[in-house]
Every structure is written in structure tokens, then in C-alpha cells.
């Protein structure tokens, strides 16, 4: 059976030291699996240029359809993912004008000066496309190298998630040959933290991607948009699974005192 392989690279000393749990890799893996990818390898490397470069080279040598990295895109001296990727694919690092404009607009709104350290976040391998990051500052980096799609995301979880979703919806072309199915609905009056343990149980039960998008305020008039998604070679099977999960989660929302609005 044909498999659409993906690999994940996490950059960060804090992961290797055990100080930070690698939740980013698990989120990326579950999201990619939900649309039909098979995750072949997850690699964690230090914030060192040669380590990052070698991780990309080794991953590219296995010729996956997609590589997603997380971490190392910020303004500090130890944010070296862009440079490591540049060396791995032998494309010069350059100031990406579109990325620079994104930074100028964001810092201008904040009334903050664009320093050289901040301009560093616009340095990308030649031919890169910056991916929108509405949850933070540093844009993601998307590049197609010899038919392999590469996405580099920031390490802050909410920023990683935002960049990943923007990439999947706007840029990804190597899509798996599986049937993808998604349903959404809205729960009003239930805090995200109250629903979270039930979401965790249903993720394990159904093996689906379930994401609660917080649209309101947690303590004052909470409103959640719930996304349930999965993929399978059997279209009817995945539709049934998603619908059953949705029905169960909607019932839980009602039991918690919420009102449901179909998406």
C-alpha cells in the first residue's frame, strides 16, 4: 500500500534537557496523521547549527513527502533553524522581502522599532515562502526542495499551531491519497478547560484529530468552535467515525450546560 510519509524535527535544548515536554511534535504528528500522512520519524536536536543542518540532510535523504520542523525561528542568537535549513539544501540565506514586510507591519502596530535582531526573522533560504503567523511575530518558512515540501514553524505552541494550519490550508500540495473528512460545531457557555478532559478521552477512543478553537473568553461568555477531522482509505468509515464522535461530544457539551450550534 502506498504511504505518504512525513517527518518531524524539533529544535531545542530545553526538549533534550527534559525541561520542556515535546508537545509540539505530538500535535504535529496527530494533525498530519489526521489528513492521511504516516509519520516515519521524529527527531530532536540541539540549538546548534551543525546539528540542525544534519537533521535536515538526514531527513531529506529518506525522501519523505513532507518535513515539518518546530523551534529556532526567533530573534535570538540561538535561533538557527533558518540558517541550518539553508545549509542543508545549499540555498543562500537572504532577506525575504515579503517576510520583512510582515515584520514591519506587526512592529509598527505595536509602536516598536525593527532592530537587526528582529529583522533576523525575515532571513530565509532563497526561494522560501513566508507562512502567516497570526498568533505571534516570526513567520513560518515554506520551501519545496526537489519535490519534498519543508515547513519550519516557531516553537511557541500556539504559534506553531497557527502556522501549521495556515500551511495546511493554503500551501500544502503533496496531499495524501486518502479520504479526509471534517465536521465542526459550536458550543456556547462551556469553558475550554471544562471540555478538555472529555476531548482527550475521545481522541483516544476514536483516533481522530479534535481541536477546540477558543472564540470567546474562558471565564466570561465562553464560545468554542470544535473541529473534528480524520482520514481513511474508506470514505464511509471515516465519515461514520467523525459523525459518531461529533454526536458524543455534542451530548457532553449539553450535559456541561452548554448550547450547541451546528457548524
**Is there a contact between 50 and 58 (Cβ–Cβ < 8 Å)?**
no
Instruction: Place 75 in a pLDDT band, splitting at 50, 70 and 90.
Output: very high
Residue 138: DSSP 8-state: S
Asked if the model's pLDDT at residue 9 lies above 60, the reply is yes
Q: How confident is the model at residue 1 (pLDDT cuts 50, 70, 90)?
A: very low
Return the percentage of the chain with pLDDT > 90, whole number: 83
Contact by Cβ (8 Å): 210, 203: yes
Q: Can you give the pTM of this predicted structure?
A: 0.78
Mean pLDDT of 166-170: 96
Element containing residue 88 per DSSP (H, E): helix 81-89
Contact predicate 177/2, CB 8 Å: yes
Average pLDDT, the chain: 93
What was the pLDDT predicted at 217? 65
pLDDT digit string (tens) for 205-221?
999 989 898 776 656 77
- Per-residue confidence (pLDDT) for residue 263, from 0 to 100: 65
The answer, yes or no, to whether residue 145 has pLDDT greater than 60, is yes
pLDDT at 141: 98
* Whole-number pLDDT of residue 194: 93
Percent with pLDDT over 70 in the chain: 97
Q: What is the pLDDT of residue 213?
A: 82
The per-residue pLDDT for range 110-138, each reduced to its tens digit, is 999 999 999 999 999 999 999 999 999 99
- The total of other beta-carbon atoms located within 10 Å of residue 26's CB is 12
Q: Is residue 259 scored above 80 in pLDDT? A: yes
Give Cα separations from 258 to 125, 192, 200 (angstroms). Answer: 48, 11, 18
- pLDDT at res. 84: 98
Amino acid 3: pLDDT: 75
Amino acid at each position: 500500500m502506498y504511504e505518504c510519509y512525513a517527518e518531524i524535527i524539533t529544535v531545542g535544548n530545553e526538549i533534550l534537557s527534559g525541561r520542556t515536554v515535546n508537545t509540539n511534535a505530538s500535535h504535529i504528528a496527530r494533525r498530519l496523521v489526521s489528513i492521511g500522512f504516516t509519520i516515519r520519524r521524529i527527531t530532536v536536536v540541539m540549538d546548534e547549527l551543525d546539528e540542525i543542518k544534519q537533521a535536515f540532510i538526514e531527513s531529506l535523504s529518506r525522501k519523505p513527502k513532507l518535513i515539518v520542523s518546530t523551534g529556532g525561528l526567533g530573534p535570538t542568537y540561538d535561533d538557527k533553524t533558518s540558517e541550518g535549513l539553508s545549509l542543508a539544501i545549499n540555498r543562500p540565506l537572504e532577506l525575504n522581502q515579503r517576510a520583512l514586510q510582515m515584520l514591519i507591519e506587526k512592529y509598527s502596530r505595536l509602536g516598536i522599532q525593527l532592530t537587526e535582531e528582529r529583522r533576523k526573522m525575515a532571513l530565509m533560504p532563497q526561494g522560501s515562502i513566508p507562512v502567516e503567523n497570526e498568533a505571534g511575530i516570526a513567520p513560518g518558512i515554506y520551501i519545496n526542495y526537489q519535490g519534498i515540501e519543508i515547513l519550519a514553524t516557531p516553537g511557541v505552541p500556539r504559534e506553531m499551531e497557527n502556522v501549521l494550519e495556515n500551511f495546511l490550508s493554503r500551501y500544502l500540495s503533496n496531499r495524501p491519497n486518502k479520504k479526509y473528512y471534517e465536521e465542526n460545531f459550536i458550543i456556547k457557555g462551556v469553558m475550554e478547560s471544562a471540555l478538555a478532559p472529555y476531548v482527550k478521552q475521545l481522541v483516544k477512543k476514536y483516533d481522530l484529530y479534535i481541536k477546540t478553537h477558543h472564540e470567546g473568553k474562558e471565564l466570561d461568555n465562553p464560545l468554542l468552535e470544535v473541529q473534528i477531522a480524520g482520514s481513511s482509505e474508506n470514505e464511509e468509515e471515516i465519515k461514520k467515525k467523525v459523525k459518531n464522535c461529533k454526536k458524543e461530544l455534542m451530548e457532553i457539551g449539553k450535559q456541561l450546560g452548554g448550547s450547541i450550534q451546528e457548524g
